[in-house]
Amino acid sequence: MIHETLITPHGGKVVTYIQDGQIYHQVYRKKPAMIICPGGAYLIHATREGEPTAVTFMEKDFQCFVLYYSVGTDREHPEKGVDPAAAYPIQALQLMETVHMIRTHAEEWHIDVDSIFVIGFSAGGHVAASLGTRWNDPKLLNDLDFKPEGEALKPAGVLLAYPMLRLNSRSFMEASAERTAVENTALMYQTLFHTDTPSETEKTSVDLIRYVSEDTAPMFLWNCMDDPVVDPCHALDFVRECHKKNVACEYHLFDHGGHGLASNNALTTMEEDEIDPGISQWIQLALAWIRRRRNERG
């Protein structure tokens, strides 16, 4: 296995989990790739949404890459305050650079370049969805140090787990039982906009629902009705917009589960009884969706 840390031109940290392409003696197979964007409110990286997700998808024959994109705070040195270099959309650029890195090393890493998928959790879902909706946005492409050809940056599919797709409304935050999420909002605003009180124009700039177009990558989404951190209705709005634009999309809404469940398996729970067999089936649903995407591409 190739397990190393690589840095993208805009400072994204990519940890690789690359398996040998040889499946038996002198027989090689190219594998699909999965880029993983952990959540954490753009302030930290949620631990159980990173490496445990890579291990889960490695077992399903993916070459995996965890992208630790720029976030606002340093867990080891909280006294540093909010990092001004983490303003959006640098995270989307780092993800684009990760896709480019994978395509550049595809032969060496035994990767099928037509099967590069991305999964994002919570705020990481915002990063992943930024790529899915804005992979051909000149405003982003002009800041890259390479010129992508055709659809080189368009992922084969984007998986979004309880994703942040636009900012929560004030009414949702005030009604939320998750006080930490409310308290973190000001820090997230500082990270994304460098202000505690972003203008409506600034808030709209991170609303990915308005970026959905006919060019948007295929989408797979899931979330829970009782999510206290990210308004689950935004996923419904996103899916509705995908339907309007004829974008391939699959969506699963669970009636319970809250937020931050990650893979919801033995890798991410303290006790076995924390595993919800209803919700943990999202992995099999996602794998079936990926299989269809790959078959359709031939």
When pLDDT is averaged across residues 32-48 and rounded to a whole number, the result is: 95
Q: Is the pLDDT of residue 17 over 90?
A: yes
Convert the pLDDT of each residue in 76-109 to its tens digit.
666 677 888 899 999 999 999 999 999 999 999 9
Cα angle value 49/18/97 (rounded, 5°): 70
Per-residue pLDDT tens over the stretch 106-155: 999 999 999 999 999 999 999 999 999 999 999 999 999 999 999 999 99
- What's the token pair of residue 174? 């005030």
Distance CA 216, CA 227 (A): 26
* DSSP type of residue 110: T
Q: Pull the structure tokens for residue 37.
A: 């964007």
pLDDT at 77: 67
pLDDT at residue 179 in the model: 60
Task: Name residue 12's amino acid.
Answer: G
204-256 residue pLDDT tens: 999 999 999 999 999 999 999 999 999 999 999 999 999 999 999 999 999 99
Nearest to 65 by CA among 104, 92, 28, 95: 95
> Tell me: the pLDDT tens digits for 163-202?
999 998 888 877 765 666 666 788 888 899 988 888 999 9
| Cα–Cα dist 25/292, whole Å | 29
Higher pLDDT, 27 or 191: 191
pTM, two decimal places: 0.94
Element (H, E) at 254: strand 249-254
* Contact (CB, 8 A) for 130 and 205: no
Main-chain phi, psi angles of 5, to 5 degrees? -110, 125
CB 207 within 8 A of CB 126: no
User: Quick one: average pLDDT of 156-167?
Assistant: 97
For residue 262, what pLDDT is reported? 82
Q: Is the Cβ–Cβ distance between 63 and 17 less than 8 Å?
A: yes
pLDDT given for residue 76 in this prediction: 67
DSSP 217: P
Q: What local confidence, expressed as pLDDT, does residue 75 receive?
A: 66
Answer yes or no: is pLDDT of 298 > 70. no
CB contact at 8 A, 214 and 245:
yes
pLDDT at 78: 65
* pLDDT value of position 181: 61
